[in-house]
Amino acid sequence: MEPYQRRNRHFEDLVARRGLIWMGQNTNHLPTHPDVKRAMIAAIEDEDYHAYAPPTGLEELRRLILADFGVDDADVLITDGAIEGLYHACRHLIRPGQRMIATDPGWPWPEAFSRLSGAEVVALPIYRPEQDYKLSAEQLAGAVEEGGAGLIYLIDPLNPLGVGYSADEIAAFARIAREADAWLIHDCTYRHFAHDHTLAYRLYPEKTITTYSFSKWLGLAGLRVGGLMARPALIEMLSEGQPNSLGSNLVSQKGAIAGLRTKGEWFPEVNRIQRANQASIHDAVAPINGLDMPVYPSNGNFVVIDTGAAGIAPETLCELYLERGIMIRQAAYQSKLFADRFVKVSTTVPTEDADRFCEMLPDVVRAALDGIGRNRALY
């Protein structure tokens, strides 16, 4: 069996597993607002799906995304999930021989897309307490000075660590990108969960592309709808040869519209629940020897737990939790340099699911230590 077949079957098994608690993909598993479900059901019952959608996306959806960003001088291209927008931007904007600068840890797929375009990818190491587990302006400027940059990929808040960047830090990154004449992709997938957030677009609008996702805050991960925000002239350029040239899923777009219309009614409670879940996990981790949460509170709907001092492989923790009905994510998925250091745990789940994770943690750690022959005090 080829590796892609094993990967696919693994995830199909997860999807088919009834009762599995999804705490590894940062998707929202809290109940969907009734208006969102009604909008999608109505689109199916009316058989709207017989027609192709407008190629750039439904006008109302694009207007609502701009309003959600608080921007009135840009435009939006609707894509089949934010990741398709990232694919299109990386393939369209960067040229062979140019450098794409990202971070490690980070989101690996834009790096892969840039390599397909012939770019050299430089992933700057950031899992360091002395730099607060995030990219510094000095680090980015040094990398640009060393070899230039065609594209800078900034995740903010940062998946998987949950750090966020201040207004001053965003201003510094925008200045570096402008001086290098580089494209700046500001991946804002988790901005709705942030304690504070600054759009790089406001500081470097001419070459900034900003992502928009409905997978996380609205929970439409399996429906594949997202977008890119940029100046109209850049959207015009990106619309040429876009992968979804016949438009994105109409049913998904109708659900996204309903979600944005009603967001103020229900999303604050989602964020309250996930932040309370973060606090519960933090309280469960704190007394256990060898475990640590290097970033708390997180600006995303997830936290990382460092297992390095305990000597526990992240994969072991993930396997033991999966045996107990909870899916979490190992560091290797999002880091090459720090793959042995942490697991990521998503927090947009019902309170009882997060409590179950916390209750299991001591037993899971004991089982992991027993498996590697470590006889040590847990507390």
Per residue in 190-231, pLDDT tens?
999 999 999 999 999 999 999 999 999 999 999 999 999 999
Cross-sheet strand order for the sheet of 329-330: 302-306, 342-346, 329-330
Q: What is the average pLDDT across 364-375? A: 84
State the Cα–Cα distance between residues 33 and 38, nearest whole angstrom.
9
- CB 112 within 8 Å of CB 63: no
- What is the share, in percent, of the chain residues with pLDDT greater than 90? 92
Instruction: Name the pLDDT band for 374 (thresholds 50, 70, 90).
Output: low
- What's the full length of the chain, in residues? 379
pTM: 0.96
Positive or negative, the CA dihedral 6, 80, 120, 240 is positive
Q: Which CATH superfamily is domain 3-32+263-371 in?
A: Aspartate Aminotransferase, domain 1 (3.90.1150.10)
Residues 123-147: tens digit of each pLDDT: 999 999 999 999 999 999 999 999 9
Closest CA to 109 of 88, 95, 93, 129: 88
Residue type (1 letter), 317: L
Closest CA to 250 of 118, 85, 105, 55: 55
* Residue 180 in this model has a pLDDT that exceeds 70: yes
What is the pLDDT at residue 263? 98
Confidence of residue 8 (pLDDT cuts 50, 70, 90): confident
Cα–Cα distance measured from residue 240 to residue 244, given in angstroms and rounded to the nearest whole number: 10
pLDDT of res. 373: 65
Instruction: Write the pLDDT tens digit of every residue in 244-278.
Output: 999 999 999 999 999 999 999 999 999 999 999 99
Q: Which CATH number fits domain 34-262: 3.30.565.10, 3.40.50.300, 3.40.190.10, 3.40.640.10?
A: 3.40.640.10
Rounded-to-integer distance, Cα 298 and Cα 275, Å: 8
Residue spans of the domains in the chain: they are 3-32+263-371, 34-262
Q: Say if residue 375's pLDDT is above 70.
A: no
For position 241, what pLDDT does the model report? 86
Q: Alpha-carbon distance 253 to 377, whole Å?
A: 52
| pLDDT score for 376 | 67
